[in-house]
Structure 1
């Protein structure tokens, strides 16, 4: 794509803004190097990556790229086997921590997000983040050698620790000796100042120049004035020599360590390059995503049919001043002619279209509505503005023609051509004729073309020719100001006569001016007037439709909110009812166990007491039933009662217990029933003949909502359970067994310490449905099993 066209559309300004959103130097350089790409699949992929990054950013925040350095030159050195400097190794160490932090960002997302959501919304970015390789060993070795200030730790090697220790001791001895010298009265007169400094890596003191031959020492430097000599006292020469030797040793050891660390880093050259490339890619994507958020960008739908359909597009460089425009071309028509007043927004509209295309082909979201569609073009040709060529001494018209000549030679069906004020700068008649001819040529080449103009002939051309459409920038005749909106299908009027009339020009002059209009101009103005009326009518209908649609949407929203509230309320009521029912049942079980314990402790010869206890038990179940299932009891009253007789085998619906009718009291609607060792008085409505299994089954299902689709196992394994869990599980199991009609089951608790066995037996002792229990025989499992007989 021609560089000049890109500059005119100001893509470089967009890239400069975008650069500020990137954290790493490589990503910033990649942004500045972005160029429009005409590969359809690649452009779609780039835009989707930005969308995924923006979704991630909105859901999980921005990943950190702190610490990641520009390692490109460092890695080139490693590839050549060059020993790295201390700072370069520090850069690698910082980057390794940055890579690890970046990897952790994606790991946390993966660990806390459903796989389907990951794939659907974030897949393109997540799979890149997963490519980062954590280099623990290299990171550990570098951290072991480098301190927080970017220097080498003494502990980087035993030799370095020893050498530095000796350096410190020697330097301390030198300073002590020189302290004695500068404090000695013998040297006070000779010294310029009482301080110790260094020259050429040797400790020296400042001596007055006149004492040069008196002070015993070696001159290493002098002040600019020559009045001060920096001399090394002879008393410390040997120690300074020793210090120099130690410092040389230190340099050699440091070089050895740097080489060792460089060699180690070189072993991970591939991984380091990979991590830098991945981090740069991610930084670029998230920079684009953050920029998209800032400008209110969207991912446009991309096509290769030359279709441009922009909805509420805003020029990104205009900020809040930008007026959203709707404009389209390339579908039913390939050429669009925009007319309207100067400063009305024609040029901005042209630049918006061109810039959007370039941004999308650079993988950058555009500030527009979700329905926006853009095409990929191999070439974008632009002629915008009053650009005279001073060097070639060309007029405005000539410079435009030079550019348009290039377009005509190079344009094809994969080109977008944008021309501002086509045919301007010359005689209007000739300019209009030339403009029509140029548009015809571009149409033959099937180029997607948008031009702006003032010429009425071009409006007529767009009105008459198939494949060409008119558009205009709206002008408010009441305020005499442009609104900057684009009106598709409507040519723009000059409005000169109308404006003159509104500004107070005498009516006779306005009328006379109207007579001088050509036939074509009158035709155009009438056409524009008719279209304007039609547009106003359509706008009114559209407003009414949108108002109704908004009202319907509001009602739908209120309805959905109401349904949600009702559903939540229903769930709350059901949950409260469930908890209340569970509490009632638990109370019933607990009190029933207490009754049974009392019965078992009673003297069985006191039959009347046992009967009373039985009646108490039966009455208790009836009370629980009334609380839990009032609707079923009401329905029961409507159900025809079976005819019973003394001696009938019956079953109590409330408990499921079997018994025999001893007597019937019709007045009280009660029967006395012998159930095992207990005699109880029961409501006739609570009894059903035992020999009617089908009716019995239906009644039990209706009463307790118990599904018999699954068989209750005759064995329960409680091994490994805690006491509380075992009690809860065993209670429910015994209820299920009782309702299923099983007479004997086994409870497996294991041998172990015997604690669980004792706990199980305590529960069985107190349970209402347990007739008896015993430990298993050897062939049944011995001490690890308890056999339970059920009523």
Structure 2
């Protein structure tokens, strides 16, 4: 891709914005080197990665990239067998720790989410994360030998521990002897100051110059004035020599340890390199995703047919409130677009937006536009935008434009996008317009997708008359005399010069005189354009009004459906209460009739047989009532109103009692297709009642779900490093998953730290209805860094 085009369309500024979101040095360098790629599979893969990473960012937070160092120079040294310094080994250790944190982050995602969800939404990123190899054994060795400041610990070897212990003892003996010397009265007059210091690796005291021969010792240094000598007293000479020997042995032992650790790093060098590559790519992916969030970007649909259709596109570098544009070119109908309209109306911005969107997509970035936006892959993008004249070449504005256009014509083909601002400007208008038309004809004949801006009426006419060419314009509000920055497809832009001049106070006589100088054809064209713009504005206002009304209607429909649902629920509640009341009345009647019959038998012994007959008849009636009551109750409890029937529901036909599953619904005809065993039949919606699933099937489904869920949910949740509110959100979701999975006890790891995370965990656990009991862990369970939770 031409570097000049990348500069003109300001892709480097976009890359700089993306780089701000990188967390590693190598990730930032990769962003700098990004260049547009014309391989559609590559571009699609990059966009899928950004989409997946964006969802992960928004739902689960940013991956922990902190602590990763640029190990490239260190690994080069290791490869050559050079022994690393302790500081360099510390950088390796910190990077290995970062690898472990990243691996834990991705493992947490993979282990706590449904595998189908991961495959559908996150796989382009999680598959990269799964490739990480943390090297815990190497990290353990480095942790054991190095302290947090990058120094070798005493415990790195027994010999080192012994040497350093002896060095401390000898050092203390030397300081004690020197302290005695500086406190001794006979030396007070000889000493410049009562202190012990060091010169090189020897302990010394400051002696006045005039006492050089009186003080028994060796001179190691002197002050700038020469008045003070730094002398090693003879009393500590042997001890200093011994200390020097021990320090030399210490250096040798430290070097041996560094050599050993460097060898361990060398053994795992290839894995460390591969990890560094993976982490850098992940950093790039998440930087792209973060930039997409910043832009409110989307992944455009991609084609290779030269089709561009941008919906509500916003130039990403414009800081003020941006008016979105809709612009299209490259369809079967036209591959050349001529944009006209006033200066500062947005023509150049529209041109740059199209070109920049294509370049952004081809380096794997989302673009700030609405869904449904389509862009094509181009092998070449050519742009002549702005005054690119060269002082050194002594070229005029016109000449510099023509020089660039000549190179377009030499290189462009059917896989090219050509953008030209103010085509033919800078020379005689008639000749410039004629040349512009000839250039467009050439580009059209080779199949290039071309967008140009111009003021020339001849180019508007050309676009109107020629097939494969379309007009567009930037809208201008004649009421406010300001551009709206909207792109009007299919309508050429009017100059509006006379109208604007009249509004700004030029006398009417001058305006009318100017009109008489225009040809009738020019006046008619401007009148037609003005009429088209007026109709377009009226249409847009009607469309916006219609959209508002549709939204209001949708909201009303939603409210109505909610109200209808409430009414239906109230109806069911009323029916249920009525049935309960009826059941009570029947029970009371049964008891009272039984009592009356008993009394009749006792009072009229002669009529007992008749009374028994009446009692039997009454019992039969009660049985009929009970049966009808139970039947109606069954229908009520096993069904819902037909308005709620959906595809997949189990239903029963009222008349025949046959059960089946709804496979299709035709609301216009008010009927449904039912699959009842091997039989398929149609029935009216009013003939169906919704049947509930039997309890045993429900229980079996719950059981199967719990087993499935239990296989996915870990009995441990690690919240270390999370923020207070993020940790509480993750814990809430985890507890729901644990409850559904049927797990009875889990561990929540929050670490000891300041105790803030522990408090956050306790706060959630106190409020959760599924929790039976919770406590801090025992020492063998992790102590106060872990909370043990029992689930009911």
Deviations 1:625-666 (A, max 9, x none): x9997778999999xxxxxxxxxxxxxxxxxxxxxxxx9774
Moved over 4 A (4+): 559-571, 626-638, 667-672, 682-688, 697-711
Alignment partners' CA distance in 1, 2:566 and 2:163? 77
- 1:391 Cα deviation from its structure 2 partner: 0.9
Q: Which residue of 2 aligns with 1:746?
A: none
Q: Which residue of 2 aligns with 1:101?
A: 101
Q: Which residue of 1 aligns with 2:170?
A: 170
- 1:174 Cα deviation from its structure 2 partner: 1.2
Q: Which residue of 1 aligns with 2:416?
A: 415
2:427 aligned with 1:444, yes or no?
no
Alignment partners' CA distance in 1, 2:128 and 2:561? 40
Is contact 1:632-1:702 (8 Å) kept? no
Change (3 A) 1:707 1:161: closer
Q: Which residue of 2 aligns with 1:266?
A: 266
Change (3 A) 1:35 1:561: farther
- 1:124 Cα deviation from its structure 2 partner: 0.9
- 1:82 Cα deviation from its structure 2 partner: 2.4
- 1:214 Cα deviation from its structure 2 partner: 2.4
Alignment of 1:300-379 (within 5 A): 300-331=300-331, 332-379=333-380
Is contact 1:145-1:153 (8 Å) kept? yes
- 1:670 Cα deviation from its structure 2 partner: 4.5
- 1:136 Cα deviation from its structure 2 partner: 1.7
Change (3 A) 1:180 1:665: farther
Q: Which runs of 5+ in 2 are unaligned?
A: 590-607, 639-690, 697-792
Alignment partners' CA distance in 1, 2:275 and 2:565? 48
Alignment partners' CA distance in 2, 1:547 and 1:709? 46
Q: Which residue of 1 aligns with 2:49?
A: 49
1:319 alignment partner, SS class = coil
- 1:213 Cα deviation from its structure 2 partner: 2.5
Q: Which residue of 2 aligns with 1:747?
A: none
Q: Which residue of 1 aligns with 2:39?
A: 39
Q: Which residue of 1 aligns with 2:3?
A: 3
1:508 alignment partner, SS class = helix
- 1:338 Cα deviation from its structure 2 partner: 1.0
Alignment partners' CA distance in 2, 1:536 and 1:391? 48
2:476 alignment partner, SS class = strand
- 1:372 Cα deviation from its structure 2 partner: 1.2
Q: Which residue of 1 aligns with 2:62?
A: 62
Is contact 1:670-1:683 (8 Å) kept? yes
Q: Which residue of 1 aligns with 2:291?
A: 291
Alignment partners' CA distance in 2, 1:43 and 1:297? 16
1:235 alignment partner, SS class = helix
Alignment partners' CA distance in 2, 1:710 and 1:256? 73
2:28 aligned with 1:28, yes or no?
yes
RMSD after superposition:
3.3
Change (3 A) 1:702 1:57: closer
1:152 alignment partner, SS class = coil
Change (3 A) 1:668 1:54: farther
- 1:201 Cα deviation from its structure 2 partner: 1.6
Alignment of 1:100-499 (within 5 A): 100-331=100-331, 332-499=333-500
Alignment partners' CA distance in 1, 2:248 and 2:292? 56
Change (3 A) 1:261 1:508: same
Which range moves more in the overlay, 663-672 or 339-348? 663-672
- 1:286 Cα deviation from its structure 2 partner: 1.1
Alignment of 1:586-601 (within 5 A): none
Change (3 A) 1:563 1:243: farther
Structure of greater Rg? 1
Q: State how many pairs are aligned.
A: 622
Alignment partners' CA distance in 1, 2:296 and 2:40? 23
Change (3 A) 1:409 1:557: farther
1:370 alignment partner, SS class = coil
1:316 alignment partner, SS class = coil
Change (3 A) 1:208 1:551: same
- 1:443 Cα deviation from its structure 2 partner: 0.9
1:473 alignment partner, SS class = strand
Is contact 1:636-1:685 (8 Å) kept? no
Q: Which residue of 2 aligns with 1:723?
A: none
Is contact 1:418-1:449 (8 Å) kept? yes
Q: TM-score, normalised by structure 2?
A: 0.73
Deviations 1:67-121 (A, max 9, x none): 1111222223333332222112111111111111111111222222112111111
Deviations 1:360-399 (A, max 9, x none): 1111111111111111111111111122201111111111
Which range moves more in the overlay, 272-281 or 300-309? 272-281
Change (3 A) 1:559 1:289: farther
- 1:219 Cα deviation from its structure 2 partner: 1.9
Q: TM-score, normalised by structure 1?
A: 0.73
1:475 alignment partner, SS class = strand
- 1:187 Cα deviation from its structure 2 partner: 2.0
Q: Which runs of 5+ in 1 are unaligned?
A: 578-625, 639-662, 673-681, 689-693, 712-791
Alignment partners' CA distance in 1, 2:298 and 2:454? 31
1:334 alignment partner, SS class = strand
Change (3 A) 1:556 1:304: farther
Alignment partners' CA distance in 1, 2:692 and 2:283? 59
2:334 alignment partner, SS class = coil
1:321 alignment partner, SS class = coil
Alignment partners' CA distance in 1, 2:633 and 2:564? 35
Q: Which residue of 1 aligns with 2:730?
A: none
Alignment partners' CA distance in 1, 2:634 and 2:557? 41
Alignment partners' CA distance in 2, 1:486 and 1:710? 61
- 1:543 Cα deviation from its structure 2 partner: 2.7
2:375 alignment partner, SS class = strand
- 1:275 Cα deviation from its structure 2 partner: 1.8
Is contact 1:671-1:683 (8 Å) kept? yes
Q: Which residue of 1 aligns with 2:681?
A: none
- 1:551 Cα deviation from its structure 2 partner: 2.4
- 1:269 Cα deviation from its structure 2 partner: 2.0
1:451 alignment partner, SS class = strand
Q: Which residue of 2 aligns with 1:558?
A: 559
Alignment partners' CA distance in 2, 1:85 and 1:295? 44
Is contact 1:84-1:259 (8 Å) kept? yes
Is contact 1:204-1:230 (8 Å) kept? yes
Alignment partners' CA distance in 1, 2:222 and 2:127? 65
- 1:209 Cα deviation from its structure 2 partner: 2.4
Change (3 A) 1:207 1:563: farther
Alignment partners' CA distance in 2, 1:483 and 1:114? 48
- 1:153 Cα deviation from its structure 2 partner: 1.2
Which range moves more in the overlay, 2-11 or 72-81? 72-81
1:265 alignment partner, SS class = helix
Which range moves more in the overlay, 231-240 or 367-376? 231-240
Q: Which residue of 2 aligns with 1:652?
A: none
Alignment partners' CA distance in 1, 2:65 and 2:283? 7
Alignment of 1:676-691 (within 5 A): 683=619
Alignment partners' CA distance in 2, 1:294 and 1:322? 15
2:369 alignment partner, SS class = coil
Change (3 A) 1:400 1:263: same
Alignment partners' CA distance in 2, 1:710 and 1:476? 68
- 1:349 Cα deviation from its structure 2 partner: 1.1
Is contact 1:665-1:671 (8 Å) kept? no
- 1:6 Cα deviation from its structure 2 partner: 0.2
Alignment partners' CA distance in 1, 2:586 and 2:58? 56
Is contact 1:456-1:520 (8 Å) kept? no
Alignment partners' CA distance in 1, 2:410 and 2:77? 48
2:72 aligned with 1:76, yes or no?
no
Change (3 A) 1:698 1:458: closer
2:367 alignment partner, SS class = coil
